[in-house]
């Protein structure tokens, strides 16, 4: 299995989402792993003009747009090469970190990762399996105030993900050791 691992926590040390994501990748035993650290890589902010041009697939030669198109092409190439995606992210203010939203804006491209048909949108990726590792200090993953994990699942299904599994790493403001034990039990149950 070829696997794309994405991490997004602003914490490089002590991040529960990074720890559980790493443990899950080891447990999956992929033959090849591409790793993308969204918090460390960083993306330049897109102007409204560049964002609209990228979404419209225009051929404008503007340097800033060309830079964004190159980044988009690289991220889409990584995604299209993967059968499995493991995405580990914290929940910030009930949603995804800005770097995750930027990644989504780069990879959701008409004619590249999805297309519209007479029966509705069709995803073009080959993602057979997605594991979403979502960490939260207090908001229950999958609960009413979780606007991160459900959003990510919607986006990934839109671009063609066939099976999406959630691993909740929530409640880390309380007892992290219990949160980690629970997340590890979820991984064990998913992989049996």
Average pLDDT over residues 29-38: 95
Task: Compute the chain's Rg from CA coordinates.
Answer: 17
Show me where the domains of the chain are located: 2-191
Domain 2-191 has CATH 3.30.1300.10: no
Q: How far is CA 165 from the centre of its chain?
A: 12
Edge-to-edge order in the sheet of strand 2-7: 32-37, 2-7, 84-90, 129-136, 163-170
Q: In this predicted structure, what is the pLDDT of residue 37? A: 97
Note whether 136 and 91 are within 8 A (CB).
yes
Instruction: Give the pLDDT confidence of 53-78 residue by residue, as tens digits.
Output: 888 877 788 888 999 999 999 999 99
The DSSP annotation for the chain comes to: -EEEEEE--S-SSS-HHHHHHHHHHHHH--SEEEEEEHHHH--PPPPHHHHHHHHTT-----HHHHHHHHHHHHHHHHHHH-SEEEEEEE-BTTB--HHHHHHHHHH--BTTTEEEETTEEEE-----EEEEEEEESSSPTTSTT--SHHHHHHHHHHTT--EEEEEEEE-TTT-HHHHHHHHHHHHHHHH-
What is the spatial distance between Cα 74 and Cα 190, in angstroms, rounded to a whole number?
A: 30
Per-residue pLDDT band at 173 (split at 50, 70, 90)? low
Instruction: Give the pLDDT confidence of 78-125 residue by residue, as tens digits.
Output: 999 999 999 999 999 999 999 999 999 999 999 999 999 999 999 999
> How many Cβ atoms from other residues are within 10 Å of residue 116's Cβ?
10
What is the spatial distance between Cα 146 and Cα 106, in angstroms, rounded to a whole number?
A: 23
Q: In this predicted structure, what is the pLDDT of residue 83? A: 96
Residue 109, both tokens:
């491209």
Mean pLDDT score of the chain: 92
Q: In this predicted structure, what is the pLDDT of residue 172? A: 58
* Cross-strand bridge partners of residue 86: 5, 131
Note whether 43 and 106 are within 8 A (CB).
yes
Per-residue pLDDT band at 139 (split at 50, 70, 90)? confident
């Amino acid at each position: 299995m070829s696997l794309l691992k994405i991490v997004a926590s602003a914490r490089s040390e002590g991040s529960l989402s990074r720890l559980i994501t790493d443990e899950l990748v080891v447990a999956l035993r992929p033959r090849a792993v591409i790793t993308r650290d969204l918090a460390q890589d960083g993306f330049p902010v897109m102007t409204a003009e560049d964002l609209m041009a990228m979404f419209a697939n225009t051929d404008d030669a503007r340097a800033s747009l060309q830079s964004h198109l190159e980044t988009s092409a690289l991220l889409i190439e990584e995604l299209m090469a993967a059968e499995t995606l493991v995405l580990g992210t914290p929940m910030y203010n009930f949603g995804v970190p800005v770097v995750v939203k930027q990644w989504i804006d780069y990879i959701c491209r008409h004619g590249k990762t999805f297309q519209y048909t007479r029966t509705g949108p069709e995803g073009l990726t080959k993602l057979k399996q997605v594991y979403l590792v979502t960490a939260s200090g207090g908001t229950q993953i999958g609960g009413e105030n979780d606007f991160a994990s459900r959003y990510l699942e919607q986006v990934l299904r839109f671009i063609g993900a066939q099976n999406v599994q959630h691993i909740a790493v929530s409640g880390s403001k309380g007892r992290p050791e219990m949160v980690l034990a629970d997340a590890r039990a979820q991984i064990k149950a998913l992989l049996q």
